[in-house]
């Protein structure tokens, strides 16, 4: 009996989005829940209002979380001027979280050379294991990011997170 009432209440709650309902006991002693007022001969009536059901989220949308998990973005840049600035701005405009690396840093140089075959060409973008793009061409970057499931524009109110590159060490003797 209790499970039947729970099912009935859940059914009412699901359909009564922010609606009012009535709780009352009929002449047989059975508790009733309805959206319509009870018959006039019922004396103990409680009028209730269901609130809205809101799921609070903080952080990134699920689709972006999945793209970041499956295809993390790494941007290899140096102080290459406008080209590197445009590359960063492009990722920021789309709201893409990325890790920024400086291939002039000795700790990152070996991995960079392995990716590029020893050619020092920046900016370079890696989108997980999916793509490695040398140089900056917005249409190619958009295609790779779209294929990985990243949003085409930043989520309103979200700030892209970039893990900054470590600065390249000063040359010896300076």
For the stretch 61-117, pLDDT in tens is 888 889 999 999 999 999 888 999 999 999 999 999 999 999 998 888 888 888 888
Residues 34 and 100 in one domain: no
Query: Has residue 172 got a pLDDT over 70?
Result: no
In a domain, 70, yes or no: yes
User: How much of the chain, in percent, has pLDDT values that exceed 90?
Assistant: 32
> 70 with 155, same domain?
yes
Any domain includes 85: yes
Residue 171 lies in a domain: no
Write the pLDDT tens digit of every residue in 105-159: 888 888 888 888 878 889 999 999 989 999 999 999 999 999 999 998 887 765 5
Number of domains present in the structure of the chain: 2
* Domain around 129: 62-163
For 29-48, b where at least 16 C-beta lie within 10 A, e where not — what string?
eeebbeeeebeeeeeeeeee
């Amino acid at each position: 009996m209790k499970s039947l009432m729970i099912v009935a209440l859940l059914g009412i709650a699901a359909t009564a989005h922010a609606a009012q309902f009535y709780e009352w006991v009929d002449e047989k002693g059975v508790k009733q829940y309805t959206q319509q007022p009870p018959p006039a001969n019922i004396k103990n009536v409680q009028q209730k209002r269901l609130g809205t059901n809101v799921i609070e989220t903080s952080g990134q949308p699920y689709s972006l979380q999945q793209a970041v998990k499956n295809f993390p973005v790494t941007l290899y840049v140096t102080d290459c001027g406008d080209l590197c600035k445009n590359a960063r701005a492009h990722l920021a405009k789309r709201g893409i979280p990325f890790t920024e690396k400086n291939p002039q840093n000795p700790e990152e140089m070996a991995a960079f050379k392995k990716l590029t075959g020893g050619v020092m060409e920046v900016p370079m973008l890696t989108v997980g294991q999916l793509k490695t793009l040398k140089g900056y061409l917005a249409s190619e970057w958009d295609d790779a990011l779209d294929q990985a499931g990243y949003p085409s524009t930043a989520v309103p109110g979200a700030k892209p997170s970039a893990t900054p590159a470590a600065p390249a060490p000063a040359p010896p003797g300076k």
